[in-house]
Amino acid sequence: MGFFKVLKRRKILFLNIFLLLYIFINLFMGERGLISYFEKKNLLKELNTEQTFLTQKVKNVENKNSLLSENLNFDFIDTLIREKLKFGKKDEILIKLND
């Protein structure tokens, strides 16, 4: 019974303590808290690096596509034939190197 008497007398103090605890817990560990902010910041950095890598890859593919479109680049076609089909001339020796 002593606990309930103390609770009745000091309910404003306990209410303030619980409100402060609620605010601090949400400030650090909530969905919009400080820890979540740093996790999202790291995720954003990783996504930005992935985006730059993918844009470079797209530019490379577009460049290769432009070499094979209207104005054919015969050197590039020769390189593709040699790499993909393992094709060479009669007097050439082909050596396969591991990439």
Q: Where are the domains of the chain?
A: 2-71
Long-range CB contacts (within 8 A, 24+) of 77-85: none
Tell me the torsion sign for CA atoms 7, 12, 17, 23: positive
Question: What is the C-alpha separation between 47 and 55, in angstroms, rounded?
Answer: 12
**Residues ≥6 apart with Cβ < 8 Å to 32:** 26
Tens-digit pLDDT profile for residues 28-68 = 887 888 888 999 999 999 999 999 999 999 999 998 888 77
**Rounded to two decimals, what is the model's pTM?**
0.54
Type of residue numbered 32: R
